Structure 1
Amino acid sequence: MSTATEPTATTIQAVEAAHVLQTYKRQPVVFVRGEGVWLVADDGKRYLDLLSGIGVNVLGHAHPAMVEAVRDQVGTLVHTSNLFFHPFQGPLAEKLTKASGLERAFFCNSGAEAVEGCLKFARRFWYTAGKPRKQFIAFERGFSGRTMGALSTTWDAHYRDPFGPLVPEVRFVSNEDPDDLLSAVSDDTAAIIAEPIQGEGGVRPLPPQIVAAINKACGATGALYIADEVQSGLGRTGHMFHFEAIGLCPDLISVGKALGGGFPIGAVLVSSRVAASISAGDHGTTYGGNPLGCRTALAVLETLEGGLLDHVRRVGPVFASGLEALKARHPMVVEVRGAGLMQGLVLDRDAAPVVPAALERGLIVNRTAERVVRMLPPYVITEAEIAEALARLDAALTAVEGA
């Protein structure tokens, strides 16, 4: 980048500091370009991206299929509103419903909005049935999003407390003790919401006993199950949806992140019995399901169907075994957990120092749940790139251990 015609990193950061609401603690790097699993900073330094925009850039950066779809659609038709038809919303809904086994889709702009839709549709289902149910059951360490409804089913007090009162009638239960769940669910429970793998909560797969308890509770009381697949869904774990891998049967699914490959689009997937309770005007969005978003999402799903999902199934175990090898070499690493290309290294200490240590070595990871190094690489990552990423992570862990 030429500093004669483009702002410097210092200028960019100074302008943001003066004018952008300071809700993010950014790393001091300015990225200007992406190529596959690599990001390129303004100074030309290349970084291996094991975060993919927090699980978003599943095709990597500047993937030809996505570039072609966006470029063509921007020059054709970007937005019409949901007052009219366009050629892409129906085909996208068809792909998602076939992949999930649920019959209907509602399109929005983000994962948090998808969770909002799930919560609303669950309440609407019971209202239509003539016996309104108010309660939602959510899990400790669960994260649903930052909007008021999604925040209400997010466990961490750090996110919740400054914004109360939130949506009432939400009860949190243990994500390890099935009896806690079974005793909490009642005939007033509208729905249980759970991520098949908790993301922000520290890359925690739902234990089998909790899966069994969800199925038992829903069967006994009729409570709906909402699968929050915003982070784990659409190929991230080697399955189109992770609920199918662990034996859950959702009535509603929230989808986001991977769906647009970097373009903001989300979806609520709805079973036929829930869909039957929803009428015109019950929910809506100005931008959701616009031609550009749907065309882009179709490009992502078609690439997954064209062999990329099989690639994730091949390289996921390679990535996991490489992380296990790091665990064997570093006493500070106490556990590797996750599935496919959704992995976490659990440390015996705060994981925060690993993030800048990795960044210094040209590797992007992040820290969540205090002690977990979270990694969500693009699906296009190769075995050679995994080896390079693990070598850089090895060096970062060594530096932190020696500090």
Structure 2
Amino acid sequence: MKITGYRTLHTRHDWRRPIGDANGHINPAVTESPIVIVETDAGIEGVGVGSHADLDRLFPAILGEDPRSVGALFDRMVAQVFKSGHSGATYGGIATLDAALWDIKAKAANEPLWRLLGGRDRFVPGYASGLDIALPDDQLGALYTEYAERGYVAGKLKGGLDLDADLRRLEIMADALSAHTTRPGLMLDANESWQPKQAVRYVSAIEERHDLLWIEEPVRRWDVAGHVRLSAQVRSAVATGENLTGIDQFRPFFDAGAPDIAQAGAVWGVTHFLRLAFAADAHDIPVSVVGYNANPAVAAAAAAVPNHLTTEVQDTSFAPGLIVDHEFIDGGIVLSDAPGTGITVDEEGIAAAATGDGWGNPAGPHMRPERAGLRLILDGTER
């Protein structure tokens, strides 16, 4: 079997609510869901979801190759951009092709990907994550009540700008998620909005009222020392890594004894997650998938590693034309039992996709505010 070509598709996900974090938000939220379909001479096609970045530069590394050699082809793509570097957006393009190759490999073996990778159970534990910083209190409660109705008992709040607001909103989320437990799991994601000492003060104040499972991305993504210092001074686990691309970027964290929970952005792909999971396991560190909806194939890898903790579920629906055969029940994800990743595409259905500015909206969360980390008083108002 040989890889003969690829084609790209665009669809747009209407979140039906504003989404964002401490860096900004989009309202109304309609974001792109880029799709790549890798073609073979055997007629088997693989579907990848995630990014279209640098595909033209990356694809020559795998053209004419056997798509089942996924690990080696991942390395060939990384080597293809050796001089310019593979991190950032380029890594997203690698990951989308990588997901499509895993889909082909599993289809050729007539196995669901989770089983091909060695998984025993197609249930993946998950937690609710509403990207919810712009939601008013009533909508916040309603959203997490919907998750609770699907059995979810843990949730992650976006915050970090206003302590009083976060304390109140954590209480709302906890109440909503208490349908199936007396002790719902609470996480807070600050999205790199603090300096280390700000993080210590903020998290310590929250811990007077709430027992956090983890604090996520409290300081800049590369601040190894800051993560270590914070972990030593608060009860909460410190989680980070969703914006690190490649095991090489995790190495100084592991060498320093951080983080408490290693996070892999789903948008960085299946092979990246597998390699990170095994590297983290060698340090007795659990791993968690961030942003499952951006690349649902990674959930299959989560089912197959020994140290997966939980996966972030940001929505229970997908963009028009993108069909994901996963169920959201019992507080997690039930993966497809069909060969491949369980992801198919209805190209006619994509024509019905919504319109919107997507992540490029300058008010959205993908642009860091000028005063991030430099706010003297964290009460929700910049002075």
- Shorter-normalised TM range: 0.3 to 0.5
Question: Larger C-alpha radius of gyration, 1 or 2?
Answer: 1
Instruction: Write 1 or 2 for the structure with the bigger share of helix.
Output: 1
